[in-house]
Structure 1
């Protein structure tokens, strides 16, 4: 069940999504409130588990990671053991930054980031396709990034 949030809580979350390094004093100033009540709201939000963790978002291109591939996967065998083994394996692959079970034609959708097409090919041949339960994969290479955000659409909570 979703946690009930006040308008100020949602504003705090919006600020934290954009810059988690903001102090409670800076956030309080933005909200025209004193620091202590603002800190208590932030603490309550964190204690409720709404903020799972605070991270630095890196620029993948500056780090030489130029290729983003969405790979659809169908398993040849979809028993519970194979599903768990596949999910455990892809969780250990650093190139797989997101993995979703899917409805429809595909069992899974993976978001894979690598240096270049050669590294992607090596990853698929040597690691992904070495998993015995894989039936088929299809690669969809991203050409232009139009939008990439980690911000949730909090305005729908108001």
Structure 2
């Protein structure tokens, strides 16, 4: 069940989504609280799991990870062992940034990043296509990035 968040909580979360390096004092000042109550609110949201972690976002292209692929994977069989075995294996691939189970013709979509198309081809041939449960994979290379955000739309909460 979702935790009730008031406007101050949502403001704190918005600030943290924008810049996780803000100090509690800076956040408190911006939301109109003293430091201790602000810290308690942040701590409460961490304990509730609303704030999962504080992370640094890296620019993949500046690091030479220039190719972003969305791989649609269909499994041959949906037996009890196939789904968890596939998911456990996918979690171990560093190239896979995200993996989601889907309803419909495709069972999973994977967000994969590599240096170049050749690197993806190696990943596909040596790893993804070798998984025993995989029947079919359709890959789509992202040509350009229109929107990429990690910020959740907190305005939808109320």
Superposition TM-score tier, normalisation by shorter sequence: over 0.9
What is residue 100 of structure 2 aligned with on the other side?
100
Residue-by-residue CA offset, 1:63-89 (whole Å, 9 max, x unaligned): 000000000000011101011110000
What is residue 35 of structure 2 aligned with on the other side?
35
How many residue pairs end up in the alignment? 158
Shift of 1:150: 0.6
Shift of 1:40: 1.1
Shift of 1:99: 0.3
**Runs of 4+ more than 6 Å apart:** none
Shift of 1:32: 2.0
Shift of 1:97: 0.4
**Aligned-partner SS, 2:140:** strand
Q: TM-score, with normalisation over the residues of structure 1?
A: 0.98
Shift of 1:137: 0.2
Structure 1: 5+ residue stretches without partners: none
Structure 2: 5+ residue stretches without partners: none
**Aligned-partner SS, 2:69:** strand
What is residue 113 of structure 1 aligned with on the other side?
113
**Aligned-partner SS, 1:45:** helix
Shift of 1:31: 1.1
Shift of 1:55: 0.8
**Which whole-Å CA distance do the structure 2 matches of 1:150 and 1:114 have between them?**
20
Shift of 1:147: 0.6
What is residue 67 of structure 2 aligned with on the other side?
67
Q: TM-score, with normalisation over the residues of structure 2?
A: 0.98
